[in-house]
Amino acid sequence: MRSVFRILILFIFALVLSECKSHQENPTSVVAENPSALRLNYDVVYYTGGHSVLLNSGRLFARGLFYECKISDTNSNFESFRASSYTEDNSNDFRQLVSETDQAKFNSRQFQYFPIGENSRATVFSGCTKGSGAEKCYVRWEWQKEAFIFVFETQLENKKGLGTAELGKEFHEFVSRGIKAF
């Protein structure tokens, strides 16, 4: 009778353990979420306003992280973005969405500088290339606060035919609206 009771207890215990799997063990069961804020480091947060669907996030490398989001705001010219933060000492590990070699091939390139709080500025690079079909563009927004560098990037089809300066300014306004440093 004891052995039947022990087998029954072990069976129930095994059943409970099989039902208690975490999302980490089965990443396909993770549901996309609309976060209201993305923490970029200990004192910088990006508020999405709930208009972004988190597609992927995690540690990019030591003391650096990233978020990939799809923009659900229909008023935006941008469909998605990647937000990353890293430190100066691990900048060699950081990978941009578009390599610097490919950026050099853009027909039109533009660097712009916009003031941002704490007597600093954001640097915005925008560039486009004409291929078959619509013009493909890349926009990168960078800001350094102390040892941390924050980068927002996007790739898009320039369906509205905006110039690189206009795309850079619009992306700066999109990013700077949500950036909060404490």
Instruction: Please provide residue 116's backbone torsions phi and psi, each rounded to the nearest 5 degrees.
Output: -140, 155
Residues in the chain: 182
The set of residues, in sequence order, having a beta carbon less than 8 Å from that of 101 and lying 6+ positions away, is none
The least confident of 58-67, 96-105, 156-165 is 58-67
Cβ distance 142 to 153 under 8 Å?
Answer: no
Q: Which of 2-6, 10-14, 68-72, 111-115 has the lowest mean pLDDT?
A: 10-14
Q: Kindly report, residue by residue over 78-128, the tens digit of the pLDDT.
A: 899 999 988 877 766 677 888 888 888 888 899 999 998 778 899 999 999
92-124: burial string, b at 16+ Cβ within 10 Å, e else: eebebbbeeeebeebeeebebebebeeeeebbb
The string of DSSP letters for the chain reads -HHHHHHHHHHHHHHHHHH---TTT-GGGPPPB--SEEE-SSSEEEE-TT-EEEEEEEEEETTEEEEEEEE--TT-S-SEEEEEEEEGGGGGG---SS-HHHHTT-SEEEEEEEEETTTEEEEEEEEEE--SSSPEEEEEEEEEETTEEEEEEEEEE-TT---HHHHHHHHHHHHHHHEEE-
In the chain, pLDDT over 70 holds for what percent of residues?
77
User: Would you call 155 exposed, middle or buried from its count of C-beta atoms within 10 A (0-12, 13-18, 19+)?
Assistant: middle
CATH of domain 27-181: 2.60.120
Determine the Cα–Cα distance for residues 102 and 88; give it in Å rounded to an integer: 23
Residues 6, 13: Cα–Cα separation, whole Å: 10
pLDDT tens for each residue of 91-105: 666 778 888 888 888
Residues in a beta bridge with 47: 37
